Amino acid sequence: LQKPLLEVMFKPTRPYTSDMTLDEKVKRTYHSLLKARRVKNRILILLNAFFLGQLINDDITLAQRILQCQTMTSHYHQSATRVYHLFETFGTQQIM
């Protein structure tokens, strides 16, 4: 069977690098999510929401989580968390 054309053309990458601080990662991912929303690209919206949810839900303290959630609206915080929990088992492969 052939892979879908989108999967062949597009390999999902995080909008941040590993050497960035958590604050920079969250801000860059949040801005990528907003940009994907402006251009109405549903796949990129889901991918960026997943990456944002992953950042604000994994391996950070409660104080860090509260601080990072103040950089975005509560709607995007809730949505990113829900998307992350929905797709966390299979990750980005399920979104694609």
Q: Break the chain into its structural domains and give their ranges.
A: 22-90
pTM of the model: 0.83
Residue 10: what pLDDT? 64
| Alpha-carbon distance values, 68 to 36, 52, 57 (Å) | 20, 10, 10
Q: How many other β-carbons are positioned within 10 Å of the β-carbon of residue 90? A: 9
Q: What is the pLDDT of residue 49?
A: 96
Show Cβ contacts of residue 29 under 8 Å, excluding neighbours closer than 6 positions. 14, 15, 16, 48, 51, 52, 55
Contact in structure between 45 and 95 (CB atoms under 8 Å): no
Closest by CA position to 16, among listed 35, 31, 36: 31
The answer to whether 54 and 16 are in contact (CB under 8 A) is no
Amino acid at 27: K
Give the pLDDT of the chain (96 residues) as one tens digit per residue. Answer: 455 555 555 677 889 999 999 999 999 999 999 999 999 999 999 999 999 999 999 888 888 888 888 889 999 999 999 999 999 888 888 887
